[in-house]
Amino acid sequence: MNSNELERILFVEDEADIQAVAQVALEAVGGFTVRICSSGEEALRVAEAFAPQLILSDVMMPDMDGPATLIALRRLPALADTPAIFMTARVLPQEVEQLRACGAMAVIAKPFDPMTLAQQIKDIWGQSHA
């Protein structure tokens, strides 16, 4: 496969129902390999071994929120430059700008369409890796 082709996604999301829907959307529809983490702490434990090409993270989570998780993951040398996308229901322009300032390449609105989520991610990836 092309080295610029996205294959491995680390998905950080605390809600089990969203995890399940997104996993089907990303694996069955999108063909990605997905590692789901239920918290920022779990993501920190498994991320280096999984070696994701992309971090997809919820914003609002207990304990470590999405931005705090991304900052912590970026402190790991292997993940310092790993692209990230946030998923959130809070998509006012100033909120999106704050998330981009934290290092996100894009923000996907929740609720998301499971049938188009994988293509949205592929499109974002393609724009940044053209």
Q: Tell me if 12 is assigned to some domain.
A: yes
* Bridge-based pairing state of the strands 33-37 and 84-88: unpaired
The secondary structure of residue 77, as a DSSP letter, is G
Residue 52 inside a domain? The answer is yes
| Residue 116: per-residue pLDDT | 96
Number of domains in the chain: 1
Residue 66: how many other CB atoms lie within 10 Å: 26
Q: What is the mean pLDDT of residues 12-40?
A: 97
Residue-range definition of the domain harbouring residue 20: 8-123
Q: Give residue 4's pLDDT.
A: 80
- Domain with residue 104: its CATH number is 3.40.50.2300
Q: What is the pLDDT of residues 63-110, one digit of tens each?
A: 999 999 999 999 999 999 999 999 999 888 999 999 999 899 999 999
Q: What is the pLDDT of residue 1?
A: 40
Q: Is 35 among the domain residues?
A: yes
pLDDT of residue 130: 67
Residue 119 domain-assigned? yes
User: Helices 66-74 and 40-50, interaxial angle, to 10°?
Assistant: 40
